[in-house]
Amino acid sequence: MAKYDYDLFVIGAGSGGVRAARIAATHGAKVAIAEEYRVGGTCVIRGCVPKKLFVYASHFSDEFEEAAGFGWTVEGARFDWKTLIANKDREIDRLNGIYIRNLEKAGVEIVNSRATVKDAHTVHLEAEKKDVTAERILIAVGATPFLPDIPGIEHAITSNEAFHLDELPKRIVVVGGGYIAVEFAGIFNGLGVETMQLYRGSLFMRGFDDDLRELLSEEMLKKGVDLRMNCDIVSIEKKDGELHLMLTDGDVICTDCIMYATGRAPNTKGLGLEEVGVKLGERGEVIVNEYSQTDAPSIYAVGDVTDRANLTPVAIREGHAFADTVYGGRDVKVDHSIIPTAIFSQPEMGTVGLTEAQAREKYKEVDIYKTAFRGLKNTLSGSQERTFMKLVVDAKTDKVLGVHLMGPASGEMIQAVGIAVTMGATKAQFDATIAVHPTAAEELVTLREKWQAPVVKAAD
Ligand code: NDP
C-alpha cells in the first residue's frame, strides 16, 4: 500500500499550481490540486486576461478619433459597460473550463476547497473537513491586493472589484504607481471616466528605466489622466453618495470611486506554514531555494506567494521546473535574471534587462542609444503620441544589457527582442539584422548614434 494518499498535493490552482500539477501528473505522479475560488487563478480570473480585454476596450475611444484622418466618419459611437462585463465574463468562463479540462485530462484530481498545511505531509481540506496526505506539498496560493490601514479604506475597491463594477463610475481616483495603477488609470481614462492617479513618490513606476517613467507620465497627462505625484491619501469619507478624499497636502478630492493598486501581499496567512518549519519573509512570502523548495524539504512553493518576480509566465516556468526536476528526472532551475515584461499602460511599454541606472551601477562604461518619434500612423491620425526606444549597451563587450520601449505593440516587440537579449546579443548583431520596413521596430536595428548627455554650461 502507498505510504501517502498522493505523490503531490498542490494548494492553489493558478498559473503556477496548474502547470506544476499537470506536468507532474504527465510524469506519472498521483496529483491532487485544491482551489477555494476558481481554477485559473489571478491571471485568468481577475488579472492579466480580463485586464487586457479591458485595455482593448479602452483603446477604441482614441481609435475612433484617429480614424477621421484616414477618411472615416464614426457616428454615434457609444460604450456599454455591461456588454463588456458580460462578454469578458463569458470568455473567463470558457478559459476556466479549459483549465479544468486540461487538469482532468492529465489525471489531476481537483478539490474545491480551501486547504491548509497540517504537517510536512498532511493537508487539511476545510470544505470536506478531512485530512489527506502527500509525499510532497506545493504551495501556489498567489497574492492578494494590499490596502493601507487608513480611516475609510472600506470604501476603496481593488482590481478584484474593478472587474465586476455594476456601473462605470463617472470619476475615479486610482492610488499607486505600479503596473496595476497605470494600467487601470489608462483603462478608465480610455473608457471616458474622469481619471486621477495618485502616487506617493516623486515619479511613478519605480524600478523601471527613468526615461520610460518620465515619458509615460507626459503621455498619460496628454491623454487626460490627472496625475498627482508626491501625494497620498490620509482618509476617505463617504458623504452624500460621494467619496471625499483627504490628501497629505491638505487638498480634498471628491470622486465616485477609489481604487487602490498599492501592491499585493502573499496569501500565506492562516496556511499553517510556519508551524511546520516553512520560513516566511517580512511580507509573508515563502522563502525558497533555486529549486523552489522551502526549509521543510517536502514542501515547495512557486509563483507570487514566493514574491520573486510576480508575473504569470515566471510562475508557470517555476511550476514547470519544479515538476520536471522532482518528477521528470531533470535538473531545472529558473533563471530570474532576464525577464521581458510588458506594461499595458497607454501608451504600452515593454522592457527587458537592465535599466540605464542599473547598468551604470554595474558596468564601468555604458553606451545609450535612444530615439523618440511620432509613428507613421500618427502622421494622419493627428495623435501627438510618441514612440520611444532605448538600448543600454556595455561599452566594453558591446553586449545589449537592456531594451526599453514605449509605444504601440511594445509588448509584442519586447517578447522578440527578449530572445536576443537573453542570448546575449551584441549591439553589432542588432545592427547586422536587416530592418523590417516600415515599422517602428526597425529603429531597434538602425540606431547608430550614441546618445550624449547635453553639456550643461555654467552660468556666466
Ligand atoms: P507594484 O508593487 O507594482 O506597485 C505598488 C505601488 O503601490 C507602488 O507604486 C508603491 O509605491 C505603491 N504603494 C505601496 N504601498 C503603498 C502605501 N501604503 N500607500 C501608498 N502607495 C503604496 O504593485 P501592483 O499592485 O501595481 O502590482 C502587483 C504585481 O502584479 C506587480 O508586481 C506585477 O509583478 C504584477 N502585475 C504585472 C502586470 C503585467 O505584467 N503587465 C500587470 C499587473 C500586475 P512605491 O513605488 O513608493 O513603493
pLDDT for 455 equals 80
Could you identify the atom of ligand 1 that is nearest to the CA of residue 145?
A: 25
Task: Yes or no: say if 31 and 20 are a contact pair by the CB < 8 Å rule.
Answer: no
For residue range 249-262, list pLDDT tens digits in order: 999 999 999 999 99
Q: Whose CA is nearest to atom 24 of ligand 1?
A: 263
How many angstroms separate the alpha carbon of residue 263 from the centre of ligand 1? 4
pLDDT for 2 equals 87
The alpha carbon of residue 44 and the mean position of all alpha carbons in its chain are separated, in whole angstroms, by: 12
> Residues lining ligand 1, judged by CB closer than 6 Å?
148, 176-181, 183, 199-201, 204, 206, 232, 261-264, 310-311, 341-344
Query: Is residue 437 among the annotated active site residues?
Result: yes
pLDDT for 459 equals 60
Could you identify the atom of ligand 1 that is nearest to the CA of residue 48?
A: 42
Domains of the chain (ranges plus CATH)?
6-144+265-327 (3.50.50.60), 153-262 (3.50.50.60), 341-445 (3.30.390.30)
How many angstroms separate the alpha carbon of residue 17 from the centre of ligand 1? 23
Q: Whose CA is nearest to atom 33 of ligand 1?
A: 310
Task: Yes or no: say if 330 and 340 are a contact pair by the CB < 8 Å rule.
Answer: no
Q: Which of 44, 159, 180 to mutate to test the pocket of ligand 1 (most atoms within 8 A of CB)?
A: 180
Q: Which of 179, 205, 230, 283 to mutate to test the pocket of ligand 1 (most atoms within 8 A of CB)?
A: 179
How many angstroms separate the alpha carbon of residue 185 from the centre of ligand 1? 13
Q: Which of 200, 236, 312 to mutate to test the pocket of ligand 1 (most atoms within 8 A of CB)?
A: 200
Could you identify the atom of ligand 1 that is nearest to the CA of residue 201?
A: 47
Q: Whose CA is nearest to atom 23 of ligand 1?
A: 263
For residue range 70-125, list pLDDT tens digits in order: 999 999 999 999 999 999 999 999 999 999 999 999 999 999 999 999 999 999 99
Which phi and psi (to 5°) does residue 117 adopt?
Answer: -95, 125
Indicate the pTM of the whole model. 0.97
Q: Which residues of the chain have pLDDT under 50?
A: none
pLDDT for 17 equals 98
pLDDT for 39 equals 96
